[in-house]
Amino acid sequence: MIFSRTYRYNSQMPVDDIKDRLRGKHVKVHNMDFEVSEKDFMLRVIPHAEQETNIKTLPITHIELKKGKDNATQIVISSKMRKIDSGGPMLIMIFCLFMLIAAVLFFIFGEQEYLSFTYTLAAISVGIFVVFWLRMESGYFDYVRKIRDYVKNSVA
């Protein structure tokens, strides 16, 4: 999916030490509390958004620890959007895509008199997408980056 991110790191720490360092800890990102818990031999970073009144797009992060050679550990951090949050961004992406497809179709099959409408439709589509992506970079993807940095700094 377009909103999923996966990062891989290697650490010289054993798996149990990494789990002990991370399990039960809380991460604060933009005044939002995230808790690290363990489920099914995997660490999960879950947001505490029960008291949150603002609409935010938040990630759920899974941390998979794999034993490697010489007591090293491979850390796989994968973040994805919560299912409850994924509807709005997907609607915006589909809306921009349909507008862009309509602009291309008007460009190919339209008459010369519709050319200004075609360029306007394409510009609006690209403009909405750019604003949307910048908001996602300062919101959702910033949460993902800061959680990733927290995990990376904790196991270094």
Question: Which DSSP state fits 15?
Answer: H
1-156 maps to which CATH number?
Answer: 3.30.530
- Structure pTM? 0.84
In degrees, to the nearest 5, what angle opens at C-alpha 33 toward C-alphas 154 and 135? 95
What are the boundaries of each domain within the chain? 1-156
> Tens digit of pLDDT per residue, the chain (156 long)?
789 999 999 888 888 888 888 998 898 888 888 999 988 888 999 988 776 667 678 899 999 998 877 778 899 999 999 888 889 999 999 999 999 999 999 999 988 888 999 999 999 999 999 999 999 999 899 999 999 999 999 887
DSSP H or E run through 61: strand 59-67
DSSP H or E run through 105: helix 87-109
Which pLDDT score is estimated for 110?
Answer: 87
Nearest to 27 by CA among 4, 8, 44, 10: 44
Which pLDDT score is estimated for 17?
Answer: 87
Which pLDDT score is estimated for 43?
Answer: 92
